[in-house]
Structure 1
Amino acid sequence: MNDANNTRPPVGFSDGIDRLIQKVGGLIAWAYVLLILVIMAQVILRKGFSSGLIMLEELQWHLYAIGVMFGLAYAQTTNSHIRVDLFYTGFRARTKYLVEIFGILFLLLPFITVIFLHSLDFVADAWRINEHSESPSGLPWRWLIKGVIPLSMAMLILAALSRLYRDTLLLFRGTD
């Protein structure tokens, strides 16, 4: 856990969900190590042997997508996502909880829900036709990488609900 989590009061249920998401995020982070190795191999092939592989180029996109998509939930649980703190940092804890609850209920959850619901047909169609790269030497099973969208959005919904539960509980508990 990073410092942002350590400064928040503990909430057992939310802490358990956050730890699970952070463990998954830690495993997914290894995709970046693989991404670096794939990029290095592609650069060596292209610059050293004047022959890059389309498969490696597509694998780079896929690995990057996996890291970013699952990283969203990780960022939500560690409170390391980007926010504009122009006024927020000066707010009392109670006001911060209200801002977070409002943002989660009226901005984050509706946005994630729309992406999640629309991604289901997107993935189902890709799976149904066994979508693959248009390049003859590209990667097969494009539906597999598209399947990351609903999975990562489901994980982000779980992270947002955990945060919503935490902030609502702390709001009514009156920690300030």
Structure 2
Amino acid sequence: MTAEVQQTPNKFCDAIDKFILSIGHVVMWCNGILVLAIILQVVLRYGFGHGMVILEELQWHLYGIGVMFGASYAQVMDNHIRVDIIHARLSDKWKMRWDLFGIVFLMLPFIIIIFHQSLDFVYESWRVNECSDAPLGLPWRWAIKGVIPVSFGLLFVATVSRLVRIVVALRRMV
């Protein structure tokens, strides 16, 4: 994101971004817990010859939480992947237009489709009280699946915030 877009003051966007960043800072602790779970699993498996299924599944869940909520955090921080080959050659005004195009025609439709499709997916998992197939695995698999619509909802809000900032910055350039 250009410096002009990032510095565009907007109370609505600032509040949204602050909310998403605070959630991101809490979720970041999942990565620390993930590292501890991995170390414990490695020590148990290779040091004592006995790994734990619950630790393996906990690793998957923590990694999933970090990635899913990390997407909205990356959007707010503008640390997401972009096709820099095209983006780097554009002027600031055209960079903003390019970002606007990507948000409206690619990002938002993708987010809406995933969010909408995930609702039935999570509901069905909750309805049958889905749990791990492993006897000693984690219960409530529907809870981790519930992260999908929540994280994509946050990604939608973060993307709308960015969209508003770009539109405001473009209007100021005219």
Number of positions where the alignment pairs a residue of Structure 1 with one of Structure 2: 173
Task: Specify whether residues 124 and 160 from structure 1 end up closer, same or farther in structure 2 by C-alpha distance, changes over 3 A only.
Answer: same
TM-score norm. by structure 1 comes to 0.93
Relative to 1, partners in 2 of residues 1:166 and 1:7: Cα closer, same or farther, differing over 3 Å?
Answer: closer
CA distance in 1: counterparts of 2:71 and 2:30, whole angstroms: 14
Q: Is the 8 A contact 1:25 1:70 kept in 2?
A: yes
Q: State the partner residue of 1:127.
A: 126
Q: Any residues of structure 2 matched to 1:101-116 within 5 Å, and which? A: 101-116=100-115
Please give the root-mean-square deviation of Cα atoms over the aligned residues, in Å: 1.7
Change (3 A) 1:52 1:18: same
- CA distance in 2 between counterparts of 1:42 and 1:5 reads 44
Alignment partner, residue 11 of structure 1: 9
2:171 partner letter:
F
Q: Equivalents in 2 of 1:52, 1:4: separation in Å?
A: 48
Q: How does 1:1-176 map to 2 (within 5 A)?
A: 8-12=6-10, 13-174=12-173
Cα distance in 2 between the residues matched to 1:5 and 1:28: 27
Q: Where has structure 1 moved over 3 Å in runs of 4 or more? A: 3-7
Task: Report the Cα distance in structure 2 between the residues aligned to 1:24 and 1:4, rounded to whole angstroms.
Answer: 24
CA distance in 1, matches of 2:44, 2:7: 51
Counterpart AA for 1:25: G
1:150 & 1:4 partners in 2: Cα distance? Answer: 29
Structure 2 distance, partners of 1:63, 1:125, is: 22
Tell me which amino acid in the other structure corresponds to 1:68: V
Compared CA separation, residues 4 and 101, structure 1 to 2 (3 A): closer
Q: Which runs of 5+ in 1 are unaligned?
A: none
Letter of the structure 1 residue corresponding to residue 6 of structure 2: R
Structure 1 CA distance for aligned equivalents of residues 6 and 152 of structure 2: 24
User: Quick one: structure 1 residues 122 and 5, their matched pair in 2 at CA, closer, same or farther if it must change by over 3 Å?
Assistant: farther
Q: For structure 2, which runs of at least 5 residues remain unmatched after alignment?
A: none
Are the equivalent residues in 1 in contact too, given 2:68–2:148 (CA < 8 A)?
Answer: yes
Please report how far the alpha carbon of residue 7 of structure 1 lies from its aligned counterpart in structure 2 after TM superposition: 7.5
Whether the aligned pair in 2 keeps the contact of 1:5 and 1:79 (CA below 8 Å) is: no
Give 1:6 deviation, angstroms.
8.7
Distance 1:59 1:5, change over 3 A: farther
Give distance in 1, aligned partners of 2:154 and 2:74.
11
Q: Whole-Å Cα distance in 1 between the matches of residues 136 and 2 of structure 2? A: 45
Q: CA deviation at 1:92?
A: 1.7
Q: What percentage of residue pairs aligned between the two structures are identical?
A: 49
Secondary structure of 1:86's partner?
Answer: helix
Q: Is the 8 A contact 2:76 2:162 kept in 1?
A: yes
